[in-house]
Amino acid sequence: MNCHQRLITAGVSPTAFETLGYRRLRTHPDHTCILMKDSMCLIHAIKPETCRAGPFTFDVDGDMIRIFLKHASVCPVVTLLKEVPEAYGQQFDLALKNISNLVDHLTDEEIDAINRIDEPDTDLVVAIPRGHRYV
């Protein structure tokens, strides 16, 4: 069962999704996730891999996945992570695992659509090989 189906089965409305070259959750006008309310994730226990990656995002360049960290202006969690190296390390490790797994399940067309998303408020932190298993 893919992530979209898993969320629908768990009760997320199909109207919470949109397709812009790939299927994703809609956002509020301020660009926060449609499933955020009062700064809380409404589906925290079952949120998708990309959400679990937290303030890390990615693109794919050939056989490499490039991992970026969002700026604190986009994701306030970044400030905390930078202040607590252990928390940063744990979230980074989780992001590597979740992003790698997500990329393994995307089609080339979905990867191309994701790569077209402009995310200027990020910094490249690492490039990892596609297909590597992180445990």
| Nearest partner of 128 among 109, 106, 105, 104, judged by Cα | 104
Locate the domains of the chain by residue range. Answer: 1-47, 48-135
Q: pLDDT-based confidence at 1, cuts 50/70/90?
A: low
Give residue-wise pLDDT tens across range 21-67.
Answer: 677 788 888 777 888 888 778 887 787 766 777 789 999 999 999 99
56, 100 contact by CB (below 8 A) = no
pTM of the model: 0.73
Tell me if 62 sits within 8 A of 111, measured CB to CB.
no
- Structure token pair of residue 3: 């992530």
> What's residue 135's pLDDT?
66
Take residue 46 and report the two structure tokens written for it: 């079952």
End-to-end CA distance of the chain: 21
